[in-house]
Amino acid sequence: MDQINPPHRLLMGPGPINADPRVLRAMSAQLVGQFDPAMTAYMTETMELYRGVLRTANEATVLVDGTSRAGIEAALVSLVEPGQRVLVPVFGRFGLLLTEVAARIGAEVHVIERPWGEVFDVQEIADAVRRVQPHLVAVVHGDTSTTLAQPLAGLGGMCHEHGALLYTDATASLGGNPFETDAWELDAVTAGLQKCLAGPSGTAPVTLSERAVAVLDRRRSIEAGLRDAASPVAAAPIRSNYLDLAMILDYWGPARLNHHTEATTALYGARECARILLEEGVDTAVERHRRHGAAMSAGLLGLGLTLFGDQSHRMANVIGVEIPAGVDGDAVRGRLLADFAIEIGTSFGPLHGRIWRIGTMGYNARRDAVLTTLAALEHALRAEGMAVPAGGGVDAALAAFEAEQ
Amino acid sequence: MDQINPPHRLLMGPGPINADPRVLRAMSAQLVGQFDPAMTAYMTETMELYRGVLRTANEATVLVDGTSRAGIEAALVSLVEPGQRVLVPVFGRFGLLLTEVAARIGAEVHVIERPWGEVFDVQEIADAVRRVQPHLVAVVHGDTSTTLAQPLAGLGGMCHEHGALLYTDATASLGGNPFETDAWELDAVTAGLQKCLAGPSGTAPVTLSERAVAVLDRRRSIEAGLRDAASPVAAAPIRSNYLDLAMILDYWGPARLNHHTEATTALYGARECARILLEEGVDTAVERHRRHGAAMSAGLLGLGLTLFGDQSHRMANVIGVEIPAGVDGDAVRGRLLADFAIEIGTSFGPLHGRIWRIGTMGYNARRDAVLTTLAALEHALRAEGMAVPAGGGVDAALAAFEAEQ
Summarised one tens digit per residue, pLDDT across range A4-59 is 999 999 999 999 999 999 999 999 999 999 999 999 999 999 999 999 999 999 99
pLDDT at A228: 81
The domain defined by A20-278 folds into Aspartate Aminotransferase; domain 2 (3.40.640)
Calculate the alpha carbon distances from B68 to A152, A354, B64, B94, B204 in Å.
36, 40, 9, 11, 5
CA distance B120 to chain A (A): 19
Q: How far apart are CA B321 and CA B307, in angstroms?
A: 4
Q: How far apart are CA A112 and CA A115, in angstroms?
A: 10
Indicate the class that CATH gives domain B282-403.
alpha beta
A211-260 tens-digit pLDDT: 999 999 999 988 877 788 788 778 888 999 999 999 999 999 999 998 99
Contact A30 B6 (CB under 8 A): yes
Residues 6+ apart with CB under 8 A from A265: A27, A29, A31, B19, B24, B27, B200, B202, B265, B266, B269
- In the 8-state DSSP scheme, what is residue A384? T
Helices (H), A193-343: 210-219, 245-252, 264-280, 282-302, 329-340
Compute the residue count for chain A. 405
Of B29, B66, B201, the CB nearest to A264: B201
- In the 8-state DSSP scheme, what is residue B28? T
Contact A38 B6 (CB under 8 A): yes
Q: Has this prediction a pTM greater than 0.95?
A: yes
More confident call, A221 vs B376: B376
Contact A197, A362 (CB under 8 A): yes
Per-domain residue ranges of chain A? 20-278, 282-403
Contact residues on chain B for A4, CB-CB shorter than 8 A: 26, 29, 42, 268, 271-272
Per-chain mean pLDDT for chain B: 97
A376-392 tens-digit pLDDT: 999 999 999 999 999 99
pLDDT at A232: 79
Contact B239 A106 (CB under 8 A): yes
Contact A350, A327 (CB under 8 A): no
Closest-approach residue (CA) in chain A for B94: A225
- Kindly tell me if the per-residue pLDDT of B261 is higher than 90: yes
Confidence of residue B171 (pLDDT cuts 50, 70, 90): very high
Q: Tell me which of A12, A78, A104, A113 to substitute to probe the interface with B (most B C-beta atoms closer than 10 Å).
A: A104
Contact residues on chain B for A29, CB-CB shorter than 8 A: 4-6, 24
Helix (H, G, I), strand (E, B) or coil at B259: coil
What is the arithmetic mean of pLDDT over B306-325? 98
CATH 3.30.360.10 fits B18-278, yes or no: no
What is the arithmetic mean of pLDDT over A261-288? 98
pLDDT at B225: 74
The dihedral sign for the CA sequence B94, B95, B99, B105: positive
% of chain A residues with pLDDT over 70 = 100
Per-chain mean pLDDT for chain A: 97
B110-133 tens-digit pLDDT: 999 999 999 999 999 999 999 999
CA distance B162 to chain A (A): 28
Helix (H, G, I), strand (E, B) or coil at A177: strand
Contact A240 B240 (CB under 8 A): yes
Amino acid at B199: G
Residue among B330, B54, B16 at smallest CA distance from B144: B16
Q: How far apart are CA B186 and CA B211, in angstroms?
A: 10
Q: Tell me which of B93, B104, B195, B275 to substitute to probe the interface with A (most A C-beta atoms closer than 10 Å).
A: B104
pLDDT at B329: 97
B211-253 tens-digit pLDDT: 999 999 999 988 877 788 788 778 888 999 999 999 999 999 9
Closest-approach residue (CA) in chain A for B82: A239
Confidence of residue A307 (pLDDT cuts 50, 70, 90): very high
